[in-house]
Amino acid sequence: MENILSGCPVLEVLQLKACRGSNCLNICSPKLTTLEIECWVFGSDGESFLEISAPYILDLTISWIFVDFHFRIKNLSSVVRASFCSFVQDDWETYGTPDVMNSIMQLLESLKSLEELELRPCCIEIFSVLEMKGLKLPPSKVSCLTLTPSNNTESIAGILGFLKSSPNLKTLVIKGRKLYHDEVYVTQDQAAAYLQNGNLDLDLFHLKTMKIIGFKGFLSGPMHMLVQVLLRSAKVLEKIVISAEEEPFEISSTNTTAIDLANFALKLGALPKVSTEAVVLVC
């Protein structure tokens, strides 16, 4: 890897997929500003960790498999845009181990300049575990957050936990998706207890735009409740944008009609809102 990087001084984008054989990724080139890591397996000694030092990276994408895998972050000080997606194989309890918790906390703490963040499937459930354990996420400067949660009660704790740590949030995008039964990492009883006893109040003092993509999952159930919490908390909300855009894992395989979209807009507009300026837009 060192020979490749040193031999490509003008390289701007580096994509690594299913890599093995090294525990260290040291990127020093100021030209290389985009790094994508997918399914890093293990290092030369069989240990499941990856040490990253990349002080000039601006765009970071990481998809990883948790089998006692963790990160050791040396320097990611310049990252302003990031996207995270994780998977678990075989042992679902891996999510709750101290190594995994510490790895996630260290990764978040290392992103001091982060402005835009996308949390894709499974990552939100990791934050639910953290929230259930009473572990507060480090303060975040993120101003634009994109979420792709499963449409289940177990996702709510993770979403609220991250929002509590993001006081500077201005734009929130939520994408509806189908729930796969093997993606539940906290029990329904735990989730119900959290929703009954936990603090659901948020301080979203700067949230101005909320966008909902694939809206059918928000008509009722957990995601509908999430929207209600957001509307009660976003004091300066200006617009709620509803999109019928179809995602690869859209919650419904049926075509969305204009009537469906209009009915949801009316239902959303009738919900209690703390902001008197908020309007509902359809696109």
- Which residues, in sequence order, are CB contacts of 214 under 8 Å at separation 6+? 175, 176, 177, 243, 244, 245, 246, 247, 250, 251, 252
pLDDT at 220 over 50: yes
> What residue spans define the domains of the chain?
1-69+90-100, 115-180+203-283
Lowest mean pLDDT among 20-24, 35-39, 210-214, 219-223: 20-24
What CATH number labels 115-180+203-283? 3.80.10
Please give the biggest Cα pair distance in the chain.
Answer: 60
Please tell me the predicted confidence (pLDDT) of residue 88: 57
pLDDT at 245: 64
The pTM assigned to this predicted structure is 0.84
CB 104 within 8 A of CB 83: no
The pLDDT tens digits for 269-283 are 899 999 999 999 988
Q: Tell the burial category of 264 from Cβ atoms under 10 Å away from its Cβ (0-12, 13-18, 19+).
A: buried
Each residue's pLDDT tens digit, 94-120? 555 666 677 778 888 899 899 999 998
The model's pLDDT over 59-92, given as tens digits with 9 standing for 90+, comes to 999 887 655 567 788 899 999 999 988 765 544 4
* 4-8, 41-45, 149-153: the lowest-pLDDT one: 41-45
